[in-house]
A and B are shown apart, each in its own frame.
Chain A
Amino acid sequence: MNDMSQMMADVPARSNSLFDVAVRHRAVLASLFLLIFPLIMPFKALAANILIYGLYALGFNLLFGFLGLLSFGHAALFGTGAYFCGIAIVHFGLPWYVAILIGTLGGAGMAAIIGALAIRTRGIYFAMVTMALAQCVYYLFYQAESWTGGENGLRGINVHVIDIFGLKFDFLDPLTRYYVIAAFVILALFALSRILASPFGAVIEAVRENEARARASGYNVLLTRLLTFILSGAFCGLAGALAALHLSIVPIEMLHYETSGMVVMMALLGGMGTFFGPFIGAAVFMLLENLVSLWTVHWQLIVGAVFVACVLFFPAGIWGTILRKIRP
């Protein structure tokens, strides 16, 4: 994974070049960008979807890009977040913010279960175990029809008003809905930036760089992997919860292994192991799909070709390639 690791020394250092200042305030810069983002997108719901899938890819990237573990079962974390959030609202009538919390915890909890089982395997086997376990999760939610709606999906996650400190926002208004979702994504960006800059962030890096050395230095490698997987699950769970609120439904397809494969594509397209890469990957992927599918029903051909070209010629991904160019 050398190619990817090349651009990973992404830790804010104390220097005052423009580049380093930008890196240190990356979450702030991203937040500013997200404010104007919906205005340049074809439509608001797509902008919100890009945020949600971007966050999903971000969570995935924490595990894949930063720790170096390729999971093919992340749909289980994303989907569990969505279902838990949806079920909290539909079956328990809980307020939206509690539902988001439950969705986030659901993603983390599912990660804890899958992680505890899979964490001892590595490489391709880790990818396969996570895929198999995610399929079992799919089946579980599929069969629990009275809770999840089964194949029909969960409907009725109807939140009309978002109430924050007495202020009421119309959640059916597309722009408002976007900003509410963006607020959570921005929070997540800050959290992720902090995690990466934290002592634990250094441990993640150390384990990716050299497991044996990390172990000899006194780090519990398995526990580090598990905790990273759980953190990744929390981000993906939050993304799922936001998706449930955004679309007011949870389709069973969210748990499908294609949803797991998609996030791998997004992360690679954008540049794994970079902070913004997955987000950019998600944006490019979804925009491409959106634009091309307006123009031809054979959009998968174009998406596939772009992807293959990316693997062959830009292994660092879009953002990774840009970073290489602009990094002093």
Chain B
Amino acid sequence: MAGLSLDLIAVQLFAGLALGAIYVLFAIGLSLIFGMLTVVNFAHGAFFMVGAYVGLFVLMMGGNFWLALVVVPLAVGIIGLIVERFLVRPLYGRGIDYPLLLTFGLSYIMVELIRIAFGKTGYPFDTPELLQGAVDIGIGYFPLYRLFVLGAATVVLLVLWLFLEKTSFGLIIRAGARDPQIVRVLGVDASRVWLVVFGIGTGIAGLAGVLAAPLQGVIPEMGSTILAEAFVVTVVGGMGSIGGAVVAGLLVGIVVSMTSLFAPEMAKVSIFALMAIVLLVRPQGFFGRAGLMS
């Protein structure tokens, strides 16, 4: 193999981690929603895409990237709230198939609405000037913006962790993830908890979308590729496990980067092979609860 060096492998590993951070950021909302609501959100990719477009809209209206980072999760989260309240809620208690199918159809609608509003062609989304260019990270050059995304993902995870561990609402959510009955026993309006969780999950997806926009531009179809990857992350980590999503996301990033080095044409299928293998050996994923959803 030409040009293999330790430095390159180190850069490659780092690139894998940075990529994994994006997977984690995207998959975490999926996992949260599944863990709490047992809703397999097939529209998660669409929320991601809408996030990028809302960011674009902020720029078009004369706002800047930093404003977009604030507006997007709020706006997408609110869309999420509406979706939960009016579309997903009537389906609770009807098994996992119906919410899954509903969100599947919903993703068609969201993508098409964006096409109608913004057209079929994609738009460029420039990297904010402050974060342009590549910097030397000791083992090689790496785009500054990717480092920023890595940092942003860490911050989001930290905030989410603090929210879940240190607030009383977070406690209810954690309890509910273990046993949905408990929430009712605690005398909390369960439907309000579901609503908020769905909002948070989709809000983070939207944030991931606007963070990904400077990496790849925006296009209505951008959510569909990453959705498959996020499912792999969620399933490998164990559906409903947030820690699992973090570990699995980073692992998937590294698997992709290592296959990219040795057999790049297999980069895409490698993650599905990983998922198949993990599930065959450990059907509930790394940190999933056995028997859930069976």
Q: Report yes or no: B109 in contact with A132, Cβ–Cβ below 8 A.
A: no
CB proximity of B289 to chain A, nearest CB, Å: 11
Q: With A125-B294, A315-B98 in contact, is A308–B112 under 8 Å at CB?
A: no
Partner of A308, one of B105, B273, B293: B105
Q: Report the minimum CB–CB distance from B39 to chain A (whole Å).
A: 11
Contact: A124 with B96, CB < 8 Å? yes
In the complex, chain A residues whose CB is within 8 Å of the CB of B69: none
In the bound complex, residues from chain B placing their C-beta under 8 Å from that of A4 are 97
Of the stretches B138-146, B161-169, B194-202, B274-282, the one at the interface is B274-282
Identify which of residues 78-131 in chain A touch chain B, using a CB-to-CB cut-off of 8 Å: 117-118, 120-125, 128-129, 131
Within 8 A of B (CB), among A270-328: 298, 300-301, 303-305, 307-308, 310-312, 315
Q: Shortest beta-carbon distance, A81 to chain B, in Å?
A: 21
In this assembly, does A264 line the interface, its C-beta being within 8 Å of a C-beta of chain B?
A: yes
B112 partner, pick from A132, A133, A304, beta carbons under 8 A = A304
User: Quick one: which of A123, A135, A264, A298 contacts B101, CB cutoff 8 A?
Assistant: A264
In the complex, chain B residues whose CB is within 8 Å of the CB of A264 = 101, 104
A254 to chain B minimum Cβ distance, whole angstroms, is 17
CA distance A125 to B94 in the complex (A): 18
- CB–CB A312/B235 < 8 A: no
Closest chain B residue to A267, Cβ basis: B101
Min CB gap A278→B, angstroms:
14
A127 CB to nearest chain B CB (Å):
8
Q: Is the CB of B101 within 8 A of A311?
A: yes
Q: Decide: A70 near B97, CB < 8 A? Known: A124-B239, A136-B269.
A: yes
- Docked complex Cα distance between A125 and B268 (Å): 20
- Do B105 and A304 touch (CB < 8 A)? yes
Report chain B residues within 8 Å CB of A129. 275-276, 279-280, 283
Specify the chain B residue showing the minimal Cβ separation from A1. B95
Docked CA distance A315–B100 (Å): 13
Task: Report yes or no: B102 in contact with A308, Cβ–Cβ below 8 A.
Answer: yes
Q: Is A153 engaged at the interface, CB distance under 8 Å to the other chain?
A: no
Taking the closest CB of chain B, its distance from the CB of A198, in whole angstroms, is 27
- Bound complex: CA A51 to CA B235 (Å): 35
B118 interface residue, CB < 8 Å from A?
Answer: no
Query: Cβ of A117: which chain B residues have Cβ within 8 Å of it?
Result: 276, 280
- Chain A residues with Cβ below 8 Å from B90 are 312
Mark B256-293 against chain A: 1 for CB-CB distance below 8 A, else 0: 00000000011011001101100110011000000011
What residues of B have a CB within 8 angstroms of the CB of A305 in the complex?
Answer: 105, 109
Q: Does A210 contact B (CB under 8 A)?
A: no
**A-contact bits for B95-127, CB 8 A (1 contact / 0 none):** 111100110111111011101100000000000
Interchain CA distance A311-B284 in the complex, whole Å: 28
Would you call A265 and B239 a contact (CB within 8 A)?
Answer: no
Q: Considering the chains assembled together, what is the distance between the CA atoms of A191 and B157 in angstroms?
A: 54
- Known contacts: A1-B95, A2-B95, A298-B116. The answer to whether A307 contacts B105 by CB under 8 A is yes
A265-B101, A312-B90 are known contacts. Are A304 and B116 too (CB-CB below 8 A)? no
- Chain B hits for A312, CB < 8 A: 87, 90-91, 102
Residue of A nearest to B220 (CB): A300
Given A3-B98, A135-B228, 4 further pairs, Cβ under 8 A: A132-B276, A268-B101, A305-B105, A307-B101
Binding site for A on B (CB under 8 A): 40, 87, 90-91, 94-98, 101-102, 104-109, 111-113, 115-116, 228, 231-232, 235, 239, 265-266, 268-269, 272-273, 275-276, 279-280, 283-284, 292-294
Q: List 12 A-B contacts (CB under 8 A).
A: A2-B95, A3-B95, A121-B294, A122-B293, A123-B292, A123-B293, A125-B239, A125-B283, A135-B272, A139-B266, A257-B228, A303-B108
Counting from the closest, the 4 A-B pairs by CB-CB distance are A304-B108, A307-B105, A301-B112, A123-B293
